[in-house]
Structure 1
C-alpha cells in the first residue's frame, strides 16, 4: 500500500468551483482498481498553535493505493485527462508526495 498527498494550488477565488468539479470525479476514482481511499481536504479552523494552514488556494487530496502501479494507471486514466482539461483554468499547479508505511 502507498499513500499519496497531493496539494493542488488554485487560482484565487476558485476553491468552490474546483471542489464542485472534483467531487464529480471522486466516484470514478474510487471505482478504479487499486484505489483504497481518495478525497479532498481543506484547512480546519483550529486554535492549535503548531498547525500549518494551506489557505483557501490549496486543496489537499488524501489518497491510498494498493501499489505504485495502480497509481500510475490512475494518473493515465481517461477520466483523469478529462478532469485535468475541465479544471485547467482553476488550477495553477499540483505537487504530490508518495509515501509508504514505515
Structure 2
C-alpha cells in the first residue's frame, strides 16, 4: 500500500468551481482497480497552535493505493485526462508526495 498527498493550487476565487468538478471525478476514481481511498480536503478551523494552514488556494487530495502501479494507471486513466482538461483554467499547479508505511 502507498499513500499519496497531492496539494493542488487553485486560482484565486476558484475553489468552489474546482471542488464541484473534483466531486464529480471522485466516484470514477473510487471504481479504479487498486484505489483504497481518494478524496479532497481543505483547512479545518481550529485553535491548535501547531496547525499549518494551506489557505483557500490549496486543496489537498488524500489518497491510498494498493501499489505504485495502481497509482500510475490512475494517472493515465481516460477520466483523469478529461478532468485535467476540465480544470485547466482553475488549477495553477500540483505537487504530490508518494509515501509508504514506515
Q: Under a length normalisation based on structure 1, what TM-score does the superposition of the two structures give? A: 1.00
How far the C-alpha of 1:6 sits from its partner, in A, is 0.1
> In 1, Cα distance between the equivalents of 2:70 and 2:52?
31
Structure 1 match to 2:84:
84
| Aligned-residue offset at 1:75 | 0.1
Distance of 1:10 and 1:18 partners within structure 2: 7
Q: Does 1:34 align with 2:37?
A: no
Tell me, in whole angstroms, the C-alpha distance in 1 between the residues paired with 2:47 and 2:15: 23
| Unaligned stretches of 5+ residues in structure 1 | none
Distance 2:12 2:46 in 1: 23
Q: Tell me the residue number matched to 1:5.
A: 5
Give the Cα–Cα distance (whole angstroms) in 2 for the partners of residues 11 and 26 of structure 1. 21
RMSD: 0.2
TM-score by length of 2: 1.00
Residue in 2 that maps onto 1:53: 53
Shift of 1:56: 0.1
Count of aligned residue pairs for this structure pair: 102
SS of equivalent residue, structure 1 residue 47:
coil
Determine the C-alpha separation between the residues in 1 that align with 2:50 and 2:36: 29
Query: What residue number does 1:94 align with?
Result: 94
Aligned to 1:68: 68
